[in-house]
Amino acid sequence: MKHGVLRVVVDARNTSIECLKCDFIGLEVNGYRRLKCPRCGFEGDGDEVGKLNVRKRALKILGLNGEL
């Protein structure tokens, strides 16, 4: 904790190409900044996908599994 804020270190590798729904690594480019999962069909903005995967990994480390 630093200044009363919990800090979690997350490995950010592949976060922008990992599917949020099925965890498949290898999202395909589907237009400008859009990514699509060839396995489940999930689509999203590349920056948003990366950000949400970092959050998902941090919550998993904390044992919360997306419960916040």
Domain that includes residue 51, residue range:
1-68
Spatial distance between the Cα atoms of 29 and 5, rounded to a whole number of angstroms: 36
- Please give the tally of structural domains in the chain: 1
pLDDT tens column, 13-66: 999 999 999 999 999 998 888 999 999 999 999 999 999 999 999 999 999 875
Question: Rounded to two decimals, what is the model's pTM?
Answer: 0.82
Beta bridge partners of 14: none
Contact in structure between 27 and 36 (CB atoms under 8 Å): yes
